């Protein structure tokens, strides 16, 4: 791997900044799916087809068309170890699907890791842009400019009736997925979350966990994204999600205010107990770690944890994942080993903030 910083540092540089509504929204993401005309979708492609696609798309970066994104790294998945691929999945730099494609998968990655262009994933091209906080519109502007650059250089598979053609029918049309990662502890603690999520799904949005489809919403982290890609324009998709997310932010803030006003001793006790467990525990599984880190994040934004900040908690969320723990400690680990190492890492990291 040409530059190992992507697997050595838990916190991507783009996460060090604070975006709008950072107390509720951790990040905004836009992902655009595209395929090349006349080439089989990746699941049906021969090695020769996949190799041709990879070289053609990597060539767009090599010819300088993407220079406006700053320093870029081209990474072929065949160059990575299984552990390195797992770490990059944990950092959301590649998808689990791309991690399994070592034959002809590739990645064009910006230096601060806010742009990740995946090649030969489920589709030939997946353009992903990430931003801190609530920045859906800004993130879309960046993603669509990158899409335009590729479209000038390669011929996309496009149908006048159905729009952009994709491997999965649910992406046909605009081919875009827009999402926000939200921290909603007060809605969970006050029992309002199910009502809110039901309302969200009724307006055509999907709610998933930290790692997308099929993942559990641990640590009170919810990924809210569009489900519809056909029949709506890109702008309609962006604005719909923006408006719904804005309402969810308002509901969460109102729930926090009421919770703190009505039950301050219990809320403060819960947050302090979580800090005590995290700073002293010998064994810590990933689910408990996520929940207790969620309590600490809430404490930061209620003004109860001045010694901590979002940056530290974001780092811990990534650094305590299975792949990153094994990378940090330099050894393969079974689940029990990871639980001990996770507790050790958290204890050490919190001690540096005291």
Report whether 7 belongs to an annotated binding site. Answer: no
Report whether 28 belongs to an annotated binding site. Answer: yes
DSSP-assigned letter for residue 93: S
Report whether 179 belongs to an annotated binding site. Answer: yes
Report whether 233 belongs to an annotated binding site. Answer: no
Helix 234-280 × helix 193-202 angle, to 10°: 160
Report whether 180 belongs to an annotated binding site. Answer: yes
Report whether 209 belongs to an annotated binding site. Answer: yes
Give the Cα separation of 199 and 193 in Å (integer): 10
DSSP-assigned letter for residue 209: B
Report whether 354 belongs to an annotated binding site. Answer: no
Report whether 207 belongs to an annotated binding site. Answer: no
CA quadruple 16, 80, 323, 180: dihedral positive or negative?
Answer: positive
CA distances from 78 to 81, 107, 123, 163, 207 (A): 8, 11, 18, 32, 33
Report whether 27 belongs to an annotated binding site. Answer: yes
CA distances from 258 to 186, 187, 261, 304, 306 (A): 9, 11, 5, 16, 21
Report whether 37 belongs to an annotated binding site. Answer: no
Helices (H) and strands (E) in the chain, counts: 12, 10
Report whether 51 belongs to an annotated binding site. Answer: no
Give the Cα separation of 146 and 141 in Å (integer): 9
Can you read off the two tokens belonging to residue 306?
A: 């001045």
Report whether 165 belongs to an annotated binding site. Answer: no
Report whether 273 belongs to an annotated binding site. Answer: no
Report whether 178 belongs to an annotated binding site. Answer: yes
Report whether 126 belongs to an annotated binding site. Answer: yes
Report whether 288 belongs to an annotated binding site. Answer: no
Q: Which residues are annotated as a binding site?
A: 27-31, 92, 126, 177-181, 208-213
Q: Which residues are annotated as a binding site for ATP?
A: 27-31, 92, 126, 177-181, 208-213
């Amino acid at each position: 791997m040409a530059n190992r910083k992507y697997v050595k540092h838990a916190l991507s540089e783009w996460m060090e900044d604070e975006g709008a509504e950072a107390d509720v929204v951790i990040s905004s993401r836009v992902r655009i799916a595209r395929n090349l005309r006349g080439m089989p979708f990746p699941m049906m492609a021969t090695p020769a087809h996949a190799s041709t696609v990879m070289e053609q798309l990597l060539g767009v970066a090599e010819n300088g068309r993407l220079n406006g994104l700053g320093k870029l790294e081209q990474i072929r998945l065949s160059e990575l170890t299984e552990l390195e691929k797992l770490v990059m999945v944990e950092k959301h730099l590649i998808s689990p699907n791309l991690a399994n494609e070592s034959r002809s998968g590739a990645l064009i990655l910006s230096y601060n890791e806010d742009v990740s262009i995946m090649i030969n994933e489920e589709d030939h091209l997946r353009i992903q842009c990430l931003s801190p906080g609530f920045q859906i519109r800004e993130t879309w502007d960046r993603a669509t400019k990158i899409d335009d650059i590729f479209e000038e250089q390669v011929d996309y598979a496009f149908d006048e009736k159905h729009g952009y053609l994709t491997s999965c029918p649910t992406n046909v049309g605009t081919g875009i997925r827009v999402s926000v990662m939200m921290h909603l502890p007060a809605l969970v603690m006050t029992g309002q979350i199910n009502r809110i999520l039901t309302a969200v799904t009724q307006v055509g949005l999907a709610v998933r966990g930290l790692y997308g489809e099929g993942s559990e919403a641990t640590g009170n982290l919810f990924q809210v994204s569009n489900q519809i890609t056909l029949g709506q324009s890109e702008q309609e998709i962006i604005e719909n999600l923006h408006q719904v997310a804005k309402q969810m932010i308002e509901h969460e803030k109102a729930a926090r205010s009421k919770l703190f006003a009505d039950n301050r001793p219990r809320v403060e006790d819960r947050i302090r107990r979580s800090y005590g467990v995290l700073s002293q525990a010998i064994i810590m599984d990933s689910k408990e770690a996520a929940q207790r880190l969620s309590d600490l994040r809430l404490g930061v934004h209620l003004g109860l944890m001045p010694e901590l900040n979002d940056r530290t908690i974001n780092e811990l969320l990534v650094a305590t994942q299975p792949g990153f723990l094994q990378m940090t400690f330099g050894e393969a680990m079974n689940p029990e080993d990871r639980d001990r190492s996770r507790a050790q890492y958290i204890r050490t990291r919190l001690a540096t903030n005291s």
